[in-house]
Amino acid sequence: MVGTYRVGTTNLDITEATSPAGGMSRVLPTVVWYPEHQAGNWSAPDLAHAPYPLLVFSQGYDLSVSAYAGLLEDWASAGFVVAAPTYPDTDPSDPAALDENDIVNHPADLRFVITTLLGDARAPGSVLSGLVNAAEIGLVGHSDGGDVSLAVAANSCCRDARVKAAAILSGAELTAFGGRYFAGNTVPLLVVQGSADTINVPACSAQIYDAARPPKYYLDLVAAMHEPPYTEPGTTDQEVVAKITTEFFDAELAGQSTAIGTILADGDVIGATQITDSASAPPSSGTCPGAPG
């Protein structure tokens, strides 16, 4: 773990009464990790240091939330409440239901989850009661989940002004969402990309990073593929991703100004990772499929 808090979990049954496209309701089961206090056999959310910043994580297509458990627990151990919804038609537990086209509905799902979490944090008797700082909300997403997180953080189609920072892990801009990226107010951005990723190629992350305004950081995972840096605990890549994302949100949400000075130092591991906050991302060839031209 990157932090010192014990970590507790709870499961929330979140249902969106009507879908963004109309028709049936949308079920969004959500797991929440949070700092926990334990004394003997008794444990409860740690309210002594509350409220905590909220991170909402969006998983990749055909990948379960549990595949990312190492990262999610790391963030909670560092003093964040971390929520991870499972979107309709994305979870591998029901292969027959998989439908990547449903991604166009996920930005609205994500905004609904944020609203529900904040409501629970204000409700007496809720596990989340008093735990969440509504002014400190960040988004993290991998692959399709990165596409969704970016849309809610930086696209006029879906922008949620409650979001204050975002980390996009091997994500992309998508024409399918409509709207314009980085057209209005922007939030601090961390872009993470494997240089050997063939699913969301480096050109996708370069397009995001080059269009964003400072503060922004680009973490290049040298020779890394699409999933291992986020789903395989114990690797150098995942250790660096956990550390840099935590320092980024410490700086941009938790107000820990000292974290800014460590991001650039900790993001450079010889032969493994490189980080920059310059105007442009490292050079990449080709274009990003499905992204605006």
Q: DSSP of 260-292, one letter per residue?
A: HHHHHHHT-BTTTEEEE-SSSPPP--S--TTS-
Q: Look at residue 185 in the predicted model and tell me its pLDDT.
A: 85
Which one of 3.30.300.90, 3.40.50.1820, 3.40.640.10, 3.40.1380.20 gives the CATH number of domain 6-276? 3.40.50.1820
In whole angstroms, give the CA distance from residue 117 to residue 115: 6
Q: Look at residue 184 in the predicted model and tell me its pLDDT.
A: 85
- Whether pLDDT at 19 is above 80: no
Instruction: Give domain limits for the chain.
Output: 6-276
In whole angstroms, give the CA distance from residue 62 to residue 64: 7
- Whether pLDDT at 20 is above 80: no
What is the share, in percent, of the chain residues with pLDDT greater than 90?
88
For 236, the 3-state DSSP assignment is helix
- Read off the pLDDT of each residue in 103-114 and give the average, rounded to a whole number: 97
Q: Look at residue 22 in the predicted model and tell me its pLDDT.
A: 61
The pLDDT tens digits for 201-259 are 999 999 999 999 999 999 999 999 999 999 999 999 999 999 999 999 999 998 888 88
In whole angstroms, give the CA distance from residue 174 to residue 57: 18
- Whether pLDDT at 21 is above 80: no
